[in-house]
Chain A
Amino acid sequence: MRIMNTETNNDMSCMPFEEYIKVKELAFAYVPLQKICSYFEPTESLVKGTVFPSLYKPYK
């Protein structure tokens, strides 16, 4: 587990979601389950609105 200070998740060795999505049927939405790869620092997380770099998607 890594503590990140940057705004981007550069750790390519860890995918923050399931690698194989088991689609079993039509007409059903699928959001992949999150896997934890890295964290922001606690104080940085409170400012950003998330502790997970993989969920941090700023506007513009």
Chain B
Amino acid sequence: MWIYEKKLEFPIKIKKTDPALAKVIISQFGGPDGELAASLRYISQRFAAVTPESKATLSDIGTEELAHLEMIGTMCRQLTADANIDEIKKAGFDAYYVDHGLGVYPASASGVPFTAAYLQSKGDPITDLYEDMAAEQKARSTYEYLMNLTDDPDVLEPLRFLREREIVHFQRFGEALQNVKAYMDSKRQFVIDKPDYMNGNKSKCMKCR
């Protein structure tokens, strides 16, 4: 069950049209280390999580990644909404334009459509958390590369915010890893109720006859 809040996690008001920038930022929408892959990864992996804490971490962060997806989509839209044909051609945005117009489509910067092959759900809670920590690092690097490609403060501010969230998520997955590790290492005791025929009350015991 989800609750949608009709607002962005971080406000986005881009004044300058820049289709060339939209072309690379789209990679954080539907690219290999993008927010859609992140969200699907965590929301899929949570079903194999073994502790309530790690389940909650995966659900919460998977949900937040959807909010980030919304932010990235908003940025791409605002960067292209007012672009004319000359700007589209000059920015090299024409290849995208011919397939998707000014719509926001989940694809990488190089135009490869989104695929679930970007993520894994291995069924091993430790393995999954290692992947999640790596995913946060890859997303952080991607945000740094994107920040290198622009000096528009309207774009830099949300990118800076999203990059910081990756660092916080890495810490949370690291903590979830300790939590799951402690659970896997703990000695577990299984208790079953004593069956009737062991109670010495033979009159009630059907199997004893």
Known contacts: A29-B133, A58-B160, A59-B144. The answer to whether A49 contacts B168 by CB under 8 A is yes
Main secondary structure of the interface of A (DSSP, over half): loop
- In residues 146-191 of chain B, which contact A (Cβ within 8 Å)? 147, 160-165, 167-168, 170-171, 173-175, 177-178, 181
Main secondary structure of the interface of B (DSSP, over half): helix
Across-interface contacts of B177 in A (CB, < 8 A)? 29, 31
Instruction: Count A interface residues, CB 8 Å.
Output: 19
Question: What is the bound-complex CA distance between A16 and B195, given in angstroms?
Answer: 52
Report yes or no: A31 in contact with B165, Cβ–Cβ below 8 A: no
Footprint of A on B, CB under 8 Å? 10, 130, 133, 143-144, 147, 160-165, 167-168, 170-171, 173-175, 177-178, 181
- In residues 3-55 of chain A, which contact B (Cβ within 8 Å)? 28-34, 46-50, 52, 55
Report yes or no: B165 in contact with A49, Cβ–Cβ below 8 A: yes
How far in angstroms is the closest Cβ of chain B from A16?
10
